[in-house]
A and B are shown apart, each in its own frame.
Chain A
Amino acid sequence: MAVEKRVPALCNYAMFCAGCGHGVLLRLICECLEELGQEKNTIAAIGVGCSCHLKSGINVDLVQCPHGRAGAVATGIRRAEPDKCVFTYQGDGDAYNIGIAETLNAAYRNENLCVFVVNNNNFGMTGGQMSWTTMEGQKTATSPAGRDIALTGAPIKVPEMIAHSFRPAYVARGAVTTPAEINRLKGYIKNAFQAQLNHEGYSMVEVLSTCPTNWGMEPLAAHQHLMEHVVPYYQLGEFKKRGE
């Protein structure tokens, strides 16, 4: 049987750096929206950071939220438009460092939303500063000697926190690396949207992603770094399955 794969019409050219993981996640979200018939029924709440490139990168209605506030903005959209498919698209710095209150409050209330967080271990757009997800010992623009976790805290695990403390519909962590991981991640994204369409409540999918520009690595070396040094700490998988 002939294989057919085409990039969905709602997935435009996006201005991410060459080899950046954001682009794969954007395409997977578009594929899921298309497969679920939601491409004309969706509103996105996007964070500040490289997530801003969704403004030209996706053909759905969207709101550019103040930094960190997408969880609250998406809640407002959900209340005003109960029949729309609503998702947030945020970086780790946006959803965690800056917007942890809004992120946790939306999860705590079990808002019927999907939250996608790109965890690339730094503030990418602003030049690679240390974030809550920066790995121990990782050199960034603001941790030039490597992150000292005794001084700055250890890399935060928000999906685990939400899955184990609240009663969300679905929580998972995937990675944008090998074809196998990308295919698995697509399954997580699909589950998140299906949970929302089925009125099951809040879903978060955190996506481990590369930032070749600020990591100072070639795109393939960044994939290898992620699998060898990031995945052992940030375990992949489903932390809260639907219906559990």
Chain B
Amino acid sequence: MSKATADQERCKGCGLCIAYCKKNALEMSSHINSRGYKSIRVLPDNCIGCGICYTVCPDGVFTIAAE
């Protein structure tokens, strides 16, 4: 099955992906990236690889690919 992975360096912590994900598969991590933004983390056990996060993300954080 496909899963989402996140490039935390591109993330600005806007939280849109968390709001649109129906599977509670995303959470804000405490990691601050090199540009100073909080960044997102995928919870792979909940992810079904639907790509909603990829679609709504304004910053190209997500890749959806087979595990």
Contacts and interface: CB of A to CB of B under 8 A. Distances in A.
A241 to B, nearest CB: 24
A212 B15 CA distance: 12
Contacts, number: 76
B60 A11 contact: yes
Contacts of A23: 57-60
A3 B56 contact: no
B16 A220 contact: yes
Contact of B10 (A13, A20, A179): A13
Interface in B10-49: 10, 12-16, 19-20, 37, 49
> Interface size bucket, B side?
20 to 34
Given A3-B2, A3-B51, A5-B54, A19 B66 contact: no
Contacts of B13: 18
Contacts of B10: 13
Nearest to B66: A2
Contacts of A19: 12, 14-16, 58
A179 B60 contact: no
A5 B58 contact: no
Given A3-B50, A3-B64, A219 B16 contact: yes
B27 to A, nearest CB: 15
Interface in A198-242: 212, 218-220, 223
Interface in A1-41: 2-7, 11, 13-14, 16-24, 27
A27 B51 CA distance: 14
A182 interface: yes
Contacts of B14: 18-19, 212, 219
A13 B59 contact: yes
Contacts of B57: 23-24
A218 B59 CA distance: 16
Nearest to A8: B60
A223 B65 CA distance: 28
A178 interface: yes
A183 interface: yes
A178 B59 contact: no
Contacts of B65: 2, 4-6
Taking each of A13, A17, A176, A178, which has the highest tally of chain B beta carbons within 10 Å of its own beta carbon? A13
A179 B56 contact: yes
A223 B16 CA distance: 9
The 8 closest A-B pairs by CB, nearest first: A23-B58, A19-B14, A18-B12, A7-B60, A5-B64, A18-B14, A2-B66, A5-B54
Interface of B: 1-2, 9-10, 12-16, 19-20, 37, 49-52, 54-60, 62-66
22 contacts: A2-B1, A3-B49, A3-B51, A5-B51, A5-B54, A5-B62, A6-B65, A14-B59, A16-B59, A19-B12, A19-B14, A19-B15, A19-B58, A20-B58, A22-B58, A178-B20, A179-B20, A183-B55, A212-B14, A219-B14, A219-B15, A220-B15
